[in-house]
Amino acid sequence: MTLIPRPLLRRTFLQRLAATAALASLPGAAVNAQPAPAASIPEDHPLQAAWQAWRSSYIAPEGRVVDSFQQGASHSEGQGYGMALALSFGDGETFRRLYSWTETNLALRPDALLAWRWLPDALPHVADRNNASDGDLFYAWALARAARLFDVPDYAARARAIAADLVATCVVTMPDGSAEVMLPAAAGFLTETGFILNPSYWMPRAMRDLAAATDQPALARCADGAERLMSQMAANGLVPDWVEVTADGITLPPARFSANSGYEALRVPLFLVWSRANTHPAVRGFTEAHRAAETGDLRAPTVFERGTGRVLEYSTHAGYRAVAALTACAGAQRAGSAIPPFDTAQPYYPATLHLMTLVAQIEGYPRCVPL
């Protein structure tokens, strides 16, 4: 287990607050108003130790992100997450290793998108060549950022190709014509009366950044549609893992999909906060639900029953507490947060949410430094 002690971050708290206050006092300045640069974590920042721990624990030498809880699988989502994080820490060597493995093992489709899963103990390793749109989104977003950071035109060209095919195969118009949204994949999510959606696949900032970088305005419209739809969902409770959308509105998904607000939906408030939408109704609802479910120990609620808000599952993995702590702080715009120290004594998924939370805090919410 690798644990990054909190004093490393607390040490610079007052300096960071002073710098933030100074910036806010400048004429016309707005803290958090500008997007973060492609690489946002300086080489001497204490959080670099967390990145090194995550990299050592979850990336195999050949360049695949390993999800041990999912049969040791590697997913396009994990590769995209890893590449985006590598860029935030300015780690070009790891970025290139992840990119090389992904292009060799997941870029198998006739279009520019990625197959969604690679299994180490199966032959063929990729049995299903359907894509996962969140994996494609993060992968292309990382490539577009890397093209700027490292001045590699091939990365930009690959990002443009992915963005174009993502729009062509996964962007649809709502049945009532009110918005454009991104399907979870190119195949398998259309119904006779509408389609099935996963709100946690939508990362508004990534959509808007990629739209601008690749001249695909439909992705920016998807970000707008995502935020609007999630506001509608939040009006009736927590945003669920899956929904079905028809001309009559938002309804429960088919029985094989989770209608609760669970492990997938945990990404919704994180991605909204990372996108600077820290006062979005879905963020407020998540924070209120977590506050009501506090246990006073190290457990965090991870699955809520959609209709009642009753907690169905708790977890002691620190990554889930990290998400709740940042969303609470960012929504309240207060100084200091209860984000726990990063550690690797947790599976890939909560550890990744944990590191993303810490990156989002540094990039957008300097007042929410962990205390």
| Residue in 267, 370, 321, 345 with CA at minimum distance from that of residue 53 | 345
Q: How large is the average pLDDT for residues 343-362?
A: 98
For residue 213, the model assigns a pLDDT of 98
Q: Given a cut of 60, is residue 10 above it in pLDDT?
A: no
Measured CA to CA, the distance from residue 176 to residue 225 in angstroms comes to: 12
For residue 15, the model assigns a pLDDT of 44
Q: How large is the average pLDDT for residues 290-312?
A: 94
The number of helices, as runs of H, and strands, as runs of E, in the chain is: 13, 9
Q: Given a cut of 70, is residue 45 above it in pLDDT?
A: yes
Measured CA to CA, the distance from residue 22 to residue 321 in angstroms comes to: 30
- State the pTM of this model: 0.92
Q: Given a cut of 90, is residue 12 above it in pLDDT?
A: no
Domains and CATH numbers, the chain: 38-368 (1.50.10.10)
Token pair of 64 as six digits: 């695949």
Q: How large is the average pLDDT for residues 120-133?
A: 98
Token pair of 73 as six digits: 């699988």
Token pair of 235 as six digits: 């009006």
For residue 334, the model assigns a pLDDT of 79
Q: How large is the average pLDDT for residues 162-187?
A: 96
Tell how strand 180-182 and strand 300-304 pair up: unpaired
| Strand, helix or coil for residue 74 | strand
C-alpha pair distances (Å), 339 with each of 131, 257, 298, 319, 353: 33, 31, 12, 9, 12
> Which range (3-17, 69-83, 156-170, 294-308) has the least confidence?
3-17
Please name the residues in contact with 333: beta carbons below 8 A apart, sequence gap of 6 or more: 278, 367
Catalytic residues, by residue number, are 77, 134
Q: How large is the average pLDDT for residues 355-369?
A: 96
| Residue in 20, 157, 138 with CA at minimum distance from that of residue 88 | 138
DSSP per position, 207-234: HHHHHHHHT-HHHHHHHHHHHHHHHHHH
Residue 124 burial (CB < 10 Å; 0-12/13-18/19+)?
exposed
**Quick one: pLDDT band at residue 1, thresholds 50, 70, 90?**
low
